[in-house]
Amino acid sequence: MRIALIHAVRVAMQPVEDAFRRHWPEAERINLLDDSLSVDRARDAELSAALSRRIGALADYAIECGATGILYTCSAFGDAIQAVKDRLDVPVLKPNEAMFEEALRHGKRLGMLATFAASIPSMQAELPGVALETLCVPEAMAALQAGDGGRHDALLAAAVTRPVLTSPDSAVLAMRKRLTRGCTLG
């Protein structure tokens, strides 16, 4: 299985790689990064048609590279990723899709932590009918970008008192399940 990981920020790469090592180490991964996507998305109030085309073009490139599944790792492009999901025949996961499905199994009253403010509206749109309390901790993203993963984790942990689901772990497990049904793993 070749899984394309499409990133809009460098700091998203390591957490998803770590999740693959924990949950599906035998999956072949290819990493596609366009870190100008997050810069351009943060500048624009709305997800533009141009950004949506770029998100789609990365998926097309992933398919040309032989991807059997695509996992996006940045939440700020929900509608563009949905358009990719609707037109491709391979599994395509939004960054938080599997985590939200898992969270909803625990009830309709949820808290959500974010580190990139532009991602909040698209994530909220994925959870209609849910009592959602959202907290953005941009200092955590800044710490991660500065290479201080421990401070990132500490800042997020200080913001909550409940169990926390992570999108990389949930996404890897969901992709593995979708692509290995009926297959035995080595």
Domains of the chain (ranges, CATH numbers): 2-97+166-180 (3.40.50.1860), 103-159 (no CATH)
* Length of the chain measured in residues: 186
Q: What is the pLDDT of residue 5?
A: 98
Write down the pLDDT at residue 182: 57
pTM: 0.86
Of the chain, the percentage scoring pLDDT greater than 70 comes to: 97
Q: Check whether 184 has a pLDDT greater than 70.
A: no
What pLDDT does 10 receive?
94
Residue 32 corresponds to which amino acid?
L
Residue 71 has pLDDT above 60, yes or no: yes
Task: Please state the separation of Cα 132 from the chain's center in Å.
Answer: 19
Q: How many CB atoms lie within 10 A of CB 167?
A: 24
